[in-house]
């Protein structure tokens, strides 16, 4: 199986290729409704998760809300 | 006929309105640093707050024991106000604000651009720049700032929907250091003034509201109390009391005593 290496939240990860932002969330078992994804500092809106294809070396941030003031 | 006179209803206050959104409670609370989620929820409830702040952070992908805040906080029950805490430049804060908005709850952001790690005092240049950028993008910006009038005026001019001067540094619990500064900001700004940070206990909250400000945002005073839900209750009443005292209008200060009881009618008085 083909794999891609991407940086997710600062750590290198192998993900099955071809990959999209939605596939990545599924791979990581994350509910898209609770997180926001950014690829190379570009925010991926939820309806676009399927269209956002990942490339080798992409820097991906996956964020959510935590407790804070 | 007996008169059944009702006491006059005191309805001096209006709802707090920020960016077109009305809120009944003038106490806004943070969700950080609680010992447990249950304790946090009990405190939010007892505080009577509607607006609760949240932070944007990376998901812990090795989330062995981590629970997403949205599993604890029902977004239909609480108005989630995302912050940009931890950001040290305008660009960074703008990036966090955009991510927060994409979570899909509202366009509000509590904008922090911090300038110094020890005091967590704001970088006002970065703050102004980020306020302009985000306001132009349609954000409802609540800008965390210091107690400086000129900066507050510039923030309002830059498009801030509310200005949030500090009572004292974040997490310090030092209370209201500059009643004059806060009062002056409130007197000069048209947008709501919400004092953010530094309140330590109920008297601090009451004194702050007595300056005429529109509300208070606090976190540590609740989370680090020995009994957070009880402090939430105390703060709810302190904020309401301070607000009402401000609206009621305090008596003048005098340097000499004025008796409250009649001076006449004392025993052994000689009628002339």
**The model's pTM:** 0.89
Check: CB of residue B170 under 8 Å from CB of residue B197. Answer: yes
Query: pLDDT tens digit string along B239-259?
Result: 999 999 999 999 999 999 999
CA distance B62 to A58: 20
CA distance A20 to A32: 13
Give the residue numbers in B contacting A (CB under 8 Å), as ranges: 30-34, 40, 53-59, 61, 68-71, 73, 80, 82-83, 85, 95, 98-100, 102-104, 170-171, 197, 217-220
Interface-testing mutation among B61, B101, B114, B167, with chain A (most A C-beta atoms within 10 A): B61
- Residue B66, pLDDT score: 56
Average of pLDDT values for B149-157? 98
Closest A-chain CA to B218: A69
- Residue B177, pLDDT score: 96
ipTM > 0.85 (yes/no):
yes
Query: pLDDT tens digit string along A8-46?
Result: 999 999 999 899 999 999 999 999 988 999 999 999 999
Q: Smallest CA–CA separation between B25 and chain A, in Å?
A: 17
Residue B62: pLDDT band (50, 70, 90) is: confident
- Residue A4 pLDDT exceeds 90: yes
- Residue B7 pLDDT exceeds 60: no
CA distance B126 to B209: 28
CA distance B91 to B129: 9
Query: pLDDT tens digit string along B154-183?
Result: 999 999 999 999 999 999 999 999 999 999
Query: What is the DSSP-derived secondary structure letter of residue A14?
Result: E
């Amino acid at each position: 199986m083909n794999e891609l290496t991407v940086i997710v939240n600062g750590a290198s990860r192998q993900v099955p290729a071809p990959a999209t932002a939605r596939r990545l969330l599924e791979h990581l078992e994350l509910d898209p409704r609770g997180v926001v994804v950014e690829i190379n500092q570009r925010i991926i809106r939820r309806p676009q998760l399927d269209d956002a294809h990942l490339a080798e070396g992409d820097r991906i941030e996956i964020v959510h809300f935590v407790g804070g003031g | 006929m007996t008169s059944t006179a009702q006491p006059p209803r005191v309805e001096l206050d209006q709802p707090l309105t920020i960016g077109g959104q009305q809120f009944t409670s003038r106490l806004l609370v943070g969700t950080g640093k609680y010992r447990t989620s249950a304790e946090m929820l009990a405190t939010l409830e007892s505080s009577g707050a509607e607006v609760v702040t949240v932070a944007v952070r990376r998901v812990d992908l090795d989330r062995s024991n981590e629970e997403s805040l949205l599993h604890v906080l029902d977004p239909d029950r609480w108005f989630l106000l995302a912050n940009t805490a931890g950001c040290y430049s305008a660009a960074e804060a703008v990036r966090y604000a955009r991510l927060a908005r994409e979570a899909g709850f509202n366009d509000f952001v509590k904008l922090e651009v911090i300038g110094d790690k020890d005091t967590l005092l704001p970088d006002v240049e970065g703050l102004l720049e980020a306020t302009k950028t985000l306001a132009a993008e349609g954000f409802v910006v609540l800008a965390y700032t210091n107690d400086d009038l000129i900066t507050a005026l510039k923030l309002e001019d830059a498009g801030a929907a509310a200005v949030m001067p500090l009572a004292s540094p974040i997490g310090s619990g030092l209370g209201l250091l500059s009643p004059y500064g806060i009062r002056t900001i409130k007197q000069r700004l048209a947008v709501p003034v919400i004092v953010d940070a530094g309140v330590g206990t109920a008297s601090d909250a009451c004194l702050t509201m007595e300056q005429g400000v529109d509300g208070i945002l606090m976190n540590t005073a609740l989370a680090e109390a020995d009994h957070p839900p009880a402090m939430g209750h105390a703060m709810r009443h302190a904020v309401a009391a301070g607000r009402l005292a401000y609206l009621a209008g305090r008596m003048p200060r005098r340097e000499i005593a004025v008796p409250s009881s009649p001076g006449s009618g004392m025993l052994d008085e000689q009628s002339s």
